[in-house]
Amino acid sequence: MRTRVRGWRWRRNPLRRRSDVMEAWTVLVAAVLLFIVTPLAGVAAGLYAHDQARSRAVTLRTERHQVRASVAGDESARPHPVRGDRAHPYQAKVRWTEPGTGTRTAVARVPAGSRAGDVVTVWFDARGRAVAPPPNDVAVWQHTVTVGLCAAGGSVAVILLGYAVQRRAALRHRMEEWEREWALTGPRWTRPRT
């Protein structure tokens, strides 16, 4: 049976090499980085992304206004060329009445399944162009979590890559040490005995 001696790299013994000590310290540093620094990096990136996304959403809410309009015409839903707005994947001609200016029409993004006569909420920018609705709180939090997880995952990848590179260098150094020591010891073992 094989017995394991825990912590042998930390104890003084004649078989312990300098590379063993360096490897033990590297494992300790990598563990600290993985369990302390990685979550902190994810949280910091997430908080920064949350502040940025929330301020962007507030800016977009002030720049855009929503209008309750009815879908006009027979051709109510054709695919919209812009990707990314799953809630409003189609565009159609809409009509609404504004106080002081009368009835207006425009082509705007509408929800899937909208038919002529349906009342929909559409968003316009300051120039009167139909735009996507500004991000809500759920979208802001989704962005926050995504950025935080990506930052934490990237940190883990960098730490593990650095650990793998160090391990490979330590293994190469250990093999060189063994070669040097065998060059000194080998002739005594391989010399023919008479």
Is residue 111 within 8 A of residue 86, CB to CB? The reply is no
Q: Would you say 114 and 90 are in contact if contact means Cβ atoms under 8 Å apart?
A: yes
Q: What is the pLDDT of residue 77?
A: 46
Hey, which of 17-26, 42-51, 102-111, 112-121 has the most confident mean pLDDT?
Answer: 42-51
Q: Report residue 33 CA to chain centroid gap.
A: 18
pLDDT digits (tens, 9 = 90+) for 14-55: 767 777 788 888 999 999 999 999 999 999 999 999 999 999
What's the confidence (pLDDT) of residue 1?
55
Three-class DSSP category at 7: coil
Alpha-carbon gap, residue 13 to 16, rounded angstroms? 6
Which residues 6+ apart lie within 8 Å of 88 measured at CB?
80, 109, 110, 111, 132, 133
| Model confidence pLDDT, tens digit, residues 124-150 | 888 878 888 889 999 999 999 999 999
CA distances from 78 to 17, 88, 153 (A): 72, 11, 40
DSSP codes joined into one string, 92-105: EEEEEEETTTEEEE
d(CA 93, CA 72) in angstroms, rounded, equals 6
Model confidence over 57-88: pLDDT tens digits?
Answer: 999 999 988 888 888 865 544 544 445 556 56
Output the pLDDT for position 75: 53
pLDDT for residue 130: 82
Per-residue pLDDT, 81: 43
Of the candidates 53, 44, 39, the one whose C-alpha atom is nearest the C-alpha of residue 153 is 39
Q: What does the pLDDT read at residue 48? A: 97
